[in-house]
Amino acid sequence: MTESEISDIIEKAWQDDVSFDAIEATTGLSESEVIALMRRELKRSSFRMWRERVTGRKTKHLKRG
């Protein structure tokens, strides 16, 4: 995966209106793979902030909405 592709996935993951399902449809990465990528690529504090932000958020999980 190129830096550009990683950057694009991180940007989508931070956006409130882009669900994990949409990320999977465009990149092929499942929710758990996106989480692993975010854990690997972000600083620890940034990852923690992101996880708190998306955990339980209906817009990140279309099935819950």
* Domain spans, the chain: 3-60
Helix (H, G, I), strand (E, B) or coil at 53: helix
Cα distance from N-terminal residue to C-terminal residue, the chain: 31
Dist. CA 55–CA 57, nearest whole Å: 6
Query: pLDDT at position 61, please?
Result: 66
Q: Are 17 and 57 contacting, i.e. CB atoms less than 8 angstroms apart?
A: no
What global pTM score does this model have? 0.85
pLDDT tens-digit map of 8-60: 999 999 998 899 999 999 999 999 999 999 999 999 999 999 999 988 777 77
pLDDT of residue 50: 95
Cα-to-chain-centroid distance, residue 5: 13
